[in-house]
Structure 1
Amino acid sequence: MDLFALPPLALLLDLATRAMLALTTLLDPLAGSTAAALAVVVVTLVVRLALIPVGVSQARAEQSRARLAPRLRMLRERWARNPERLQREALQLYRDEGASPLAGCLPVLAQAPVVGLLYAVFLHDTVGGHANELLADELFGVPLGRSLVGALSTGTTDAATLAVVGTLVAVMALVAEMTRRLLRPSVDPTTPPWVTGLGGVVHFSTAVVAAFVPVAAGLYLAVTSVWTLAQRLLLRRRYPLPS
């Protein structure tokens, strides 16, 4: 079932498509055939600018979690045989200190609707009863609506598709590795080891997703991953973790 066939979501999709078309037309004299791709980059930057306060809150929360780590470790030692009591005590500690163990999820959750809508815009051949003109736009010869997995399944893969999607995946993988190396996470001592290990894998999940989504959505993910790394490095200097 296509959720965007529902009237409210169909209207939202139509409005988003019209907005992208208007922005593409505006950028056409500057970017020509890559105007739609540039429009995706502009939308990404606007979203990231709007989310700067969320990023600041995330940095503060990470600093707080690192500061609370010794006390959380003591709670874990004290209530190791009582997981329910440990969870209650840890949550109470977070509340008392005005911190949140879930603050790091806010940027991802805030962007999810934008990524989903952008995915839908470049996935539908028709929007509002009209042909989706955005699907004719390209990035270095690759339609913005094409995905690597889709091209492989239909036998339409070419060198340009492999190069463009491969570059996007490589950028995201590089950013993920730099994030892992440069940004030491503040680990909650009450967090099970398997959750911590999963967090390391999640860093690279965006690169995997880029192979399944349209090139337009992959471009959004690549730009936002670079922005996120740069922003976190700057904020880490402003809100350093305890040594």
Structure 2
Amino acid sequence: MDTIASLFSFITTPVSWVIVQFHKVYGALFGDDSGWAWGLSIVSLVVLIRICLIPLFVKQIKSTRNMQVLQPKMKAIQERYKNDKQRQSEEMMKLYKETGTNPLSSCLPILAQSPFFFALYHVLSSIASGKKIGAINQDLLNSAREAHIFGAPLAAKFTDSVEKVTALDASLTDVRIVTAIMIVLMSASQFFTQRQLMTKNVDLTVKTPYMQQQKMLMYIFPVIFAVMGINFPVGVLVYWLTTNVWTMGQQMYVINQNPTPGSKAQDAYLQRVLKSVTSHGEVRGRTRRKMVKAIVAKGSDRNDIERKFITGLGKLGLAAQEDGSVAKSETATAEAEGGQAHKRQQPKRQTKAKRQTTGATAGGAKEAEPAAAGSKTSLQKKDAPQDDQPKSAGKPASGSSRQAKSGQRKGPQRPKHPSKK
């Protein structure tokens, strides 16, 4: 352990120094040996690290947006190679390479936090073992060992023995209750963060490897952290729970302010914008105008949610402008009303029994028409004058009423030439 800690001293020393600086501030308020002073120092360390990781988070958002732009192309590849999964994967990877998109970019913040997590783990493990590390001297070491959070020492673990917990002046029951609650909260916050992303901020009309990856992480990560959590000191659990809560809040803000096109979050966002336009007659807010501007620029490539928003503006007698604002437009109102009228004029689908009844009635009518036509023709023939009937030369007209012999044409025959009698 000492060898590993010495190899990573370039990480543990800065982390321990930052904790010491925060402890000086909170120690003046709560006391140097207070668990709140050390606990808030760890929370402040998390906040500082996450602020430093904001550029990576912005890069993650951009990569996510690139994935959203590629959704139609991904869907086309899926439909084209739906029977060849290997070719489908190859075409997907080719598309990622051409556009410079990395589907694994969502893991960047977690990977970037790993060194700090490792450093904090070694700092707290050294405190539990009574060893000085980095910027923590003997006085600070003794103070940290006496610090408790809800009765559990910062350096205690769920798997610690009774003797070790007693040496830290604590009860094993208190340690296990506190650590169990923190592990559950840590895993639940991890799961909720991923689930929020999958259910609200993803276009579910297109299934991609990216979505499958996110779905897998949603179930795997909470289990991993729950299993690993029993070996984490209380201080590390405070660190990880804080970073999960930060991630969850940060993601909620992004979903509410910049949702993914085609997602449920976009539908809710545009409904809020439409409600605001109804109340104030204009698009308020720079972010909202930017969103409306992007929808106008899409033109015919808008998704169903965006078309619904444009139609809603038309019902209000408004039309979205290229700069993201709205203006009164009678044309938009007419188009919205015309679309509704056309939709109302569509015939209802008949039941199978009704279609069969209608078909039988139509068939009977068709059969009745030739019969009626035949009757009409026979009546016409019956009523016709006798002079109009063709007669055979030298033979009475009654011969035409006899049936035609085999091989002869039916109906009236032409008179034979006198020389052939």
Band the TM-score falls in, shorter-chain normalisation:
0.7 to 0.9
Q: Could you give the per-residue CA deviations for residues 1-55 of structure 1, whole angstroms, max 9, x where no partner exists? A: 544343x424643453344234323311223312111100000011111112222
Paired amino acid for 1:37: G
Task: Tell me the equivalent position of 2:186.
Answer: 172
Structure 1 window deviating more from structure 2 (106-115 vs 22-31): it is 22-31
Answer whether contact 1:56 1:235 (CA < 8 A) is retained.
no
CA distance in 1 between partners of 2:90 and 2:103 (Å): 13
Residue 21 in 1 paired to residue 20 in 2? yes
Matching residue within 153, 159, 162 for 2:173: 159
Secondary structure, counterpart of 1:146 in structure 2? coil
Q: Could you give the per-residue CA deviations for residues 107-127 of structure 1, whole angstroms, max 9, x where no partner exists? A: 001100011100000011313
Matching residue within 69, 72, 77 for 1:70: 72
CA distance in 1 between partners of 2:211 and 2:249 (Å): 28
Report the CA distance shift for 1:19/1:47 in structure 2 as closer, same or farther (over 3 A). Answer: closer
Tell me: higher relative CO, structure 1 or 2? Use CA pairs within 8 A at least 6 residues apart.
1
CA distance in 1 between partners of 2:192 and 2:214 (Å): 18
Structure 2: gaps (5+ residues): 263-421
Report the CA distance shift for 1:166/1:31 in structure 2 as closer, same or farther (over 3 A). Answer: farther
Report the CA distance shift for 1:5/1:176 in structure 2 as closer, same or farther (over 3 A). Answer: closer
When Rg is computed on C-alpha atoms for both structures, the one with the higher figure is 2
Matching residue within 201, 210, 213 for 2:219: 201
Answer whether contact 1:14 1:127 (CA < 8 A) is retained.
no
Structure 1: gaps (5+ residues): none
Task: Tell me the equivalent position of 2:232.
Answer: 213
CA distance in 1 between partners of 2:161 and 2:62 (Å): 43
Report the CA distance shift for 1:117/1:164 in structure 2 as closer, same or farther (over 3 A). Answer: same
Task: Tell me the equivalent position of 1:106.
Answer: 108
Report the CA distance shift for 1:182/1:190 in structure 2 as closer, same or farther (over 3 A). Answer: closer
Percent identity among equivalent residues?
A: 25
CA distance in 2 between partners of 1:63 and 1:153 (Å): 53
Tell me by how many angstroms 1:198 deviates: 2.8
Tell me by how many angstroms 1:219 deviates: 0.5
Task: Tell me the equivalent position of 2:401.
Answer: none
CA distance in 1 between partners of 2:117 and 2:214 (Å): 26
Task: Tell me the equivalent position of 1:42.
Answer: 44
Normalised to the residue count of structure 1, the TM-score between the two structures is: 0.82
Report the CA distance shift for 1:112/1:96 in structure 2 as closer, same or farther (over 3 A). Answer: same
Tell me by how many angstroms 1:88 deviates: 4.1
CA distance in 2 between partners of 1:242 and 1:24 (Å): 45
Paired amino acid for 2:209: T
Q: Where does 1:70-89 land on structure 2 (aligned, <5 Å)? A: 70-79=72-81, 80-81=83-84, 83=86, 85-89=87-91
Residue 4 in 1 paired to residue 9 in 2? no
Paired amino acid for 1:149: T
Normalised to the residue count of structure 2, the TM-score between the two structures is: 0.50
Report the CA distance shift for 1:91/1:2 in structure 2 as closer, same or farther (over 3 A). Answer: farther
Tell me by how many angstroms 1:231 deviates: 0.4
Paired amino acid for 1:217: V
Answer whether contact 2:103 2:210 (CA < 8 A) is retained.
no
